[in-house]
Amino acid sequence: MKGNFRLRRIASFGMLAVLALALAACEQHPNTTFSPHSDYGLAIDFLWDRLLLLATIVFVLVESALIYIVFRYRKREGDQRPPQTHGNVVIEIFWTLIPAFILLFIAVPTVRTIFKTQAKAVAGALQIEVIGHQWWWEFRYPEYGIITANEIYIPTGRTVNFKLTSNDVIHSFWAPQLGGKRDLITNRTNYIWLTPDSTMQPAEWNGFCTEYCGTSHGKMRFRVFTVKPDQFASWVAKERGPAVFGATAIPTPAPAAGAATPAMIVPVSEGSAEPGYTFPANQPEFDYAKPHTPVPAGMTFTRGLTGNAHRGQQVYSSAACIGCHAIAGNPASMANIGPNLTHFGSRATIGAGSFPNTPAYLALWIKNARVMKPGVIMPTLGMNEFDPVLKTQVTKAQGGLDDQQIADIVAYLSALK
Ligand code: HEC
Ligand SMILES: [Cu+2]
């Protein structure tokens, strides 16, 4: 009976080891921590490898001794009762010293890694302030005067120092392939730094909130673009100023009558100014990073409408939006309760990674954000839509927008490259 139990234990430990190896061997998984792309990630990965090695040595030695003793000293025919001992100082000393010695081997690299990853960032690091909100990320680059949301661009080869704070409850910042995770706490400032590999090609990485923070915690994602220094400089130059707007972007918010994937209609832009670097969208190899949230049932939008960006600017500037959002270059819109929308048209997603940023999804988002992402502060704004928080239907008197007005706002926001 006992032997059987041991065998099963050995078998299950063996399975775990095989599983760990299999995980380590896989390069395809977008959210794996086993293929780090920063110094921080490498430090953690080194520690993991080292501890796994030490643990494996201990495991093999202990289990071999155990198996040997089980068989060597098993009960045989005609055995006498063996001598009984109670307490043995020598053995006591040994089995205290050996684990102490093992712990020392584990403690040294662990403590060194802790000190290394908790140390202050190097001087000259790029500072990024990360402010957690239910349920989105505000990112500020104080050095450049940039405020954005849910997406960060960082140059490869330069250390980035993230300053982590929260606007409401505790959140946690984690971009698995780059490094992390560390909490955003309300009455305390945390820091975490990392240096993306300088040899990397431009890439995008998933980021998550990893501390339960309320209803839509699972939809509090972000995205990190690691780009070449010159691409970063171009992006910074663009983000610093207001969006290049003046072009007549004319998207047609799409059908999407409850469809899982509304048709995508590409905005027509007549802008002539160079908009600056944006990470190329719709790369098939980055499909994993694309949101796959289905459109909630019952959401519809009038087919075939054409939005006008200039009209949209007017509608937006006299609607509730300006009480919560800021758009540089639009003096009516300077609030900061919701994400900064200055360059919203060049962002990849809507609602902290919930939906792709296409006119079709954007129209539905503006129409009824509280259905698209449960619990958000952003009110339901579509006329005759049911607000699931207030439990009433939105009327014109309350500022409800009809589909044409929403189409115009979509054209405006999509033009903010
Ligand atoms: C009461 C405040 C409030 C009002 C009013 C409001 N919003 Fe929002 N908005 C928010 C918040 C908060 C979010 C973030 C929601 C989330 O992702 O969790 C948001 C998100 C958005 C986003 C997605 C941004 C991103 O980067 O993901 C867009 C676009 C947007 N709002 C447009 C509008 C428009 C257009 C209007 C007016 C028709 C409007 N909002 C009115 C608070 C507001
Ligand atoms: Cu969270």
pLDDT tens digits, 373-417: 999 999 999 999 999 999 999 998 888 999 999 999 999 999 998
Q: Are residues 165 and 99 in the same domain?
A: no
Q: Are residues 354 and 402 in the same domain?
A: yes
| pLDDT reading at 152 higher than 60 | yes
Q: Which of 214, 208, 215, 211 is nearest to 352 (CA)?
A: 208
- Alpha-carbon distance 141 to 238, whole Å? 13
Q: Are residues 234 and 323 in the same domain?
A: no
Residue 78 forms part of a structural domain: no
Q: Average pLDDT for residues 62-87, to the nearest whole number? A: 91
- CA 170 to centroid of ligand 2, rounded, Å: 7
Residue 247 forms part of a structural domain: no
| pLDDT reading at 253 higher than 60 | no
Residue 271 forms part of a structural domain: no
Q: Are residues 163 and 112 in the same domain?
A: no
Q: Which domain holds residue 185?
A: 126-240
Q: Average pLDDT for residues 254-277, to the nearest whole number? A: 46
Identify the band that residue 287 occupies on the pLDDT scale cut at 50, 70 and 90.
low
Q: Are residues 161 and 199 in the same domain?
A: yes
The per-residue pLDDT of the chain, averaged, comes to: 87
| pLDDT reading at 37 higher than 80 | yes
Q: Are residues 58 and 130 in the same domain?
A: no
**CATH number of the domain bearing residue 183:** 2.60.40.420
Identify the band that residue 284 occupies on the pLDDT scale cut at 50, 70 and 90.
low
pLDDT tens digits for 204-217? 899 999 999 999 99
Identify the band that residue 261 occupies on the pLDDT scale cut at 50, 70 and 90.
very low
pLDDT tens digits for 344-370? 999 999 999 999 999 999 999 999 999
pLDDT tens digits for 88-126? 999 999 999 999 999 998 999 999 999 999 999 999 999
Residue 102 forms part of a structural domain: yes
Q: Are residues 150 and 37 in the same domain?
A: no
Bridge partners, residue 127, by sequence: 161
- CA–CA distances in Å: residue 200 to residues 42, 193, 397: 14, 18, 54
- CA 127 to centroid of ligand 2, rounded, Å: 23
Pocket lined around ligand 1, Cβ cut-off 6 Å: 135-136, 149-150, 316, 319-321, 323-325, 337-339, 341, 344, 347, 350-352, 366, 373, 376-379, 381, 409, 413
Q: Average pLDDT for residues 149-170, to the nearest whole number? A: 96
- CA 405 to centroid of ligand 1, rounded, Å: 16
> The pTM is what?
0.84
pLDDT tens digits for 236-247? 999 988 887 654
Pocket test for ligand 1, best of 139, 325, 350, 362 (most atoms within 8 A of CB): 325
Residue 355 forms part of a structural domain: yes
Q: Give the per-residue pLDDT at 18.
A: 76
Q: Average pLDDT for residues 298-327, to the nearest whole number? A: 92
Q: Is the peptide bond before 181 cis (omega within 30 degrees of 0)?
A: yes
Whether the Cβ atoms of residue 326 and residue 314 lie closer than 8 Å to each other = no
Q: Which SS3 state, helix, strand or coil, does residue 91 take? A: helix
Q: Which of 128, 126, 148, 411 is nearest to 271 (CA)?
A: 411
Identify the band that residue 271 occupies on the pLDDT scale cut at 50, 70 and 90.
very low
Q: Which of 66, 57, 44 is nearest to 17 (CA)?
A: 57
Residue 255 forms part of a structural domain: no
Q: Give the per-residue pLDDT at 286.
A: 61
The total number of structural domains in the chain stands at 3
Q: Are residues 111 and 45 in the same domain?
A: yes
Q: Give the per-residue pLDDT at 23.
A: 62
pLDDT tens digits for 45-63? 999 999 999 999 999 999 9
Residue 269 forms part of a structural domain: no
Q: Are residues 144 and 103 in the same domain?
A: no
Residue 83 forms part of a structural domain: no
